Amino acid sequence: MKKEPEVFIEHILESIELIENYTANKTISDFIESVQLQDSIIRRIEIIGEAVKNLPADVKSKYPDVPWQKIAGMRDVLIHKYFGIDLELTWQVVQKDIPDLKRENLKIKQDLKTKSTSSSTNSTT
């Protein structure tokens, strides 16, 4: 069964929210020292990457400012090179890229909701 793009956007936003919760009041030192924190954040980045890989091409092409390929690539690195993860780079992604990704995905969610609402309205008229 094929999932709608809204489902994948929701997975992305849920993972971002959890990352924000995990990292609230944390420093890079906390992250480097806590394997549990690393595991939690890295898992959520993997989920974001997997959700991105499953988004339909038309959704991704409509939002070319989102670095979809880099996001999916980060997931691949985390999954396949787990023994050599750059924790400082991962922390930078959380601090710098995740807030932008959240903003973009909230916009996409709203756009998809608007599109869905207008499609429903058009089909009933």
Residue 20 pLDDT: 99
In a domain, 123, yes or no: no
Q: How confident is the model at residue 2 (pLDDT cuts 50, 70, 90)?
A: confident
In a domain, 56, yes or no: yes
Residues known to be catalytic: 75
Domain count, the chain: 1
- Tens digits of residue pLDDT in 69-115: 999 999 988 988 867 899 999 999 999 999 999 999 999 999 999 98
Q: How confident is the model at residue 53 (pLDDT cuts 50, 70, 90)?
A: very high
3-state secondary structure 46-95: HHHHHHHHHCCHHHHHHCCCCCHHHHHHHHHHHHHCHHHCCHHHHHHHHH
* Token couple for 57: 């091409």
Q: How confident is the model at residue 125 (pLDDT cuts 50, 70, 90)?
A: low
Name the residue range of residue 46's domain: 5-114
Burial of 8 (0-12, 13-18, 19+ CB in 10 A): buried
In a domain, 124, yes or no: no
